Structure 1
């Protein structure tokens, strides 16, 4: 299947780059001996940011790829349903 870029992708990339920066900061915090509560709080924020990016990506897939395929050729619709079943393992 060809790569398709959606309107939400730049925002997802922006969120993931921000989470990546926070992750590097947490590593530095660990190395400098910061309190565990501070580390846990930051790691929780990173988890939430990544989860939100994943949710946006999956919703975008459903809204665009699945909806578009359902309106088209029956073989394309079956493929879209199979793709949807496959992507649900990441929910």
Structure 2
């Protein structure tokens, strides 16, 4: 993680996202092991749902913390880096 150009708030948000992603990675590793062990499908699906929720939370955290920057940072031509329609599309892919 390149924190050179980040504010303290942005660094904290990035750490929170990375923690969520690492937790989801660990959960997914556990789900894979459960499938390999032939565990009950209800247990597997429950844990897989937990992984999915963790990834969704990470995605929403990314959007929530970066939304203002994406809408206010301008490209060379003066347009926002991302417009409202694009942001909505990204948001809805997580919903």
TM-score normalised to structure 2 length: 0.72
Match in the other structure for 1:12: 17
Selected match of 1:69 from 50, 68, 73: 73
- Counterpart CA distance in 2 for 1:27 and 1:63 is 37
Q: CA RMSD in A?
A: 2.6
TM-score normalised to structure 1 length: 0.74
Q: Which runs of 4+ in 1 moved over 4 A?
A: none
- Counterpart CA distance in 2 for 1:62 and 1:50 is 18
State the Cα deviation string for residues 36-91 of structure 1 (Å, max 9, x = none).
0000000100000100110010111113342x438xx981xx23343x54343332
Q: Which has the higher helix share?
A: 1
